[in-house]
Copies of this chain bind each other. A is one copy, B any other.
Amino acid sequence: MYDGIIQDLIDEFGRLPGIGPKSAQRIAFHILQTESFDVARLAQLLIDVREKVRFCEICGNVAEEAQCSICRDVRRSPTTICVVEEAKDVVAIERTREFRGLYHVLGGAISPIDGVGPDDLRIAQLLTRLRDGTVTEVIIATDPNLEGEATATYLSRLLVQPGLTVSRLASGLPVGGDLEYADEVTLGRAFEGRRTVER
C-alpha cells in the first residue's frame, strides 16, 4: 500500500521473528522519521555480524575469534561442562554468576517433529571433549520442555563413562518454557540444586 521502498523495508522487518505487519510498519516509520536514529550504523552492524561473528571451534558459542571468550578464559574450571541448546542460554547462565566451568552448545534439541535428530546436534564434538578425562562433571542444561527433556535423557544415557558425573538442572525452572526467559534467581537456584542423573 505504500510507495515501493517503504513497503520493502516493512516487508523485510516483517520477516524477523516476533515482528508482525503492524510492528514492522511502526519500526519503518520510526526509522524514517527519527533523525537521531543512525541507519548507517544499524546497516553496517547487520553486515558485520554476518561477516565477523563465527562459532567457537571448541564449544560452539558465538565468538569473534576462533575460540570464544569463555573457552579462552584460563580462570574457568576445565573439569565441568554445562551443555546448553543455544548460545542465548550461555548468556542466561552467565548472568547468574553461579557457574565457573565451560560450556558446550548443542545447536538445538532433539525434535522428531522438526526433523532434528542427535546427528544434527554437536554431540560428537562433546564426546571428543570428554575423551581425555579432564572433565569430571557434565551438567545438562537443556530447555525444560519436551525437546529439551528428550535431549537430556538421550545424553544422560550416552555419557556413561568412569569418573564422569552427569547432572541435570534442578526442577524449579518453570516447565514448558524456554530457559533463556527464566529470571536470574530461579536459574541460579536451579543450578545450585542440580541432581545427578540415576541410570
Contacts and interface: CB of A to CB of B under 8 A. Distances in A.
A120 to B, nearest CB: 14
A94 B1 contact: yes
B2 A45 contact: no
A146 interface: no
A39 B46 CA distance: 6
Interface string A70-87: 000000000000000011
Main secondary structure of the interface of A (DSSP, over half): helix
Given A5-B64, A19-B27, A64-B3, A47 B43 contact: yes
Given A4-B64, A6-B62, A88-B25, A39 B31 contact: no
B49 A39 contact: yes
Interface in A12-46: 12-13, 15-19, 22-23, 25-32, 37-46
A95 interface: yes
Contact of A6 (B6, B25, B38, B53): B53
A17 B37 CA distance: 11
A52 interface: yes
A48 interface: yes
26 contacts: A1-B95, A3-B64, A3-B69, A5-B45, A5-B48, A5-B49, A5-B52, A5-B53, A5-B64, A15-B37, A17-B26, A17-B30, A19-B19, A25-B91, A26-B88, A29-B86, A31-B46, A31-B50, A32-B49, A39-B46, A39-B50, A40-B47, A42-B43, A42-B46, A43-B43, A46-B46
